[in-house]
Structure 1
Amino acid sequence: ALFKRCRLSELKRGAFVKTDWGNMRPSWHLQTTAMAMKYLGENFDVHISSRELLFPHHENENAIAAALTGKPLANCWIHAERVLGEDPGLRALREKGIAPRELRFWLMSVHYRKPAVFAWDRILEARRSLRRLDDCVARLMNVHGGEPCPELDQLIYDLRQGLRRGMDDDLNTPAILAALFQAVRSINGFLARGAMDERGAGRLLSAFQDIDAVLGILDFRQKSDAAEAVLELIAAREKARSAGDFELADRLRAQLLAAGVRVQDRCPVGRKRSA
């Protein structure tokens, strides 16, 4: 479909074009193709959407683009399954203190071709798993002294190959995460035995950073920087409570919770902090 006869509401808004066939409006397929080509060019690399839009929407968009330019609209079309189960919405996730990277980790723990079933316990499990990765990164950032790691080159090779194999296997993000956790188990063992020096830790951190350039889930902030940011949030929350701005105080509480800090108010002033 290229044009559809406009409705009365569209006539009132002026959202129509006068044609030999009457007052018409561009179809959704024509609109989306036009927007994509305006901002992304006549041909772009990746088009991502939900699987149920494959037919007829994306087939029509691609046909319109091909008729106009002789080229496909996108070189690669990725159609993901839907998220099933409870649908809390982004506001509820934010109010619960769920950090964006925690949600991202959970989504990547399921292959995009399979439905992801939302449940709060699964989000909390993703948080715990992510903390295991964060703890390993933090330990590597604080390596001082120690002996050289005897399997450093193999560890780095396995990490990078895990990313390549997963990306080449139809964006198999669960396999990439599995390779990460396998490396973390090995690294933690070497750290526990003192078989890791600063040079080796630096090379591993560099490998983690390269992988995270794709995944976007790890936290490489120095602990001192993170602690300073937490103190600033606590101070801002105290100021908001003193001013009676409890909506802002609740939002700051959610940010603290996302950083792993729980604030319990025992009285109108003062606080009790627990990590």
Structure 2
Amino acid sequence: MVRISNNILTILNTISFLLSIPIVVVGVWLSRQGATECEHYLEKVFLATGIFLMIISLAGMIGACCRVSWLLWLYLFVMLGLIVLLIFSTIFTLVMINKGAGQSLSGKAYKEYRLGDYSVWLQKRVNNDDENWRRIKSCLQYSKVCERMGTDEASSGRADDLFYSKRLSAIQSGCCKPSDSCNFTYVSPTYWNKTTKALPNTDCALWGNDPNVLCFNCDSCKAGFLDNLKNRWKRVAVSNVVYLVCLIIVYSIGCCALRNNKRDNSWRQ
């Protein structure tokens, strides 16, 4: 007797197993070719994800195809854990992205960002952990996000006006230029002349025209990173809902396949 749920589960896990192979390959490639700390971090993520997906897919595939009930039990237990984890992570994500927004500036197309506007938990992740921010800063520097701002050509003395009319990303606004309150003199998007008077904003003293310094140590850079993270987490929250629905469907199919296994085993006995 053909067991449709077993066949469907076998096909789904075969597909996920095949997808896990390139993920592992990318992880291995990064472990050999990665030159930065950022790439080594991605290496661990790819390897862990690929190996986990490969193992759980094998368990589901063999359990459904070969009627191995204990493997299906293990598969369903892991799937249930993923469903619960996804529910809690989605709720946590929605709570974390509830705070924080860029501040509009008069006469400027871009916004500026303040660290205190964001979730306290997120602030601690970037503000109280020097090692954590060092890794994030390394990734930002390696991505050359500031170099992509380009260099405006002076045109009738209005190069600064061209820059102020640009829509910068949160990271570019926070990390690649000084705060507007510093009142520095514009030379190029990443080169500004400092003023000599004392300024209330502590970020002003941290600014440096060196491409590896800029404002990467500023609170505004951390705030820009959190705003970028917040926007990414919004998309993650939507994706989580889709994944959750898919996992519940697969889990239901797995339960049917396990029931079929029990029936087959009882008939054999």
TM-score range, shorter chain: under 0.3
Higher relative contact order (CA 8 A, sep 6+): 2
Query: When the two structures are superposed, what TM-score results if normalisation uses the length of structure 1?
Result: 0.20
User: Would you tell me which structure has more strand in proportion to its own residues?
Assistant: 1
Q: TM-score with structure 2 length normalisation?
A: 0.20
The structure with more helix, counted as a fraction of residues: 2
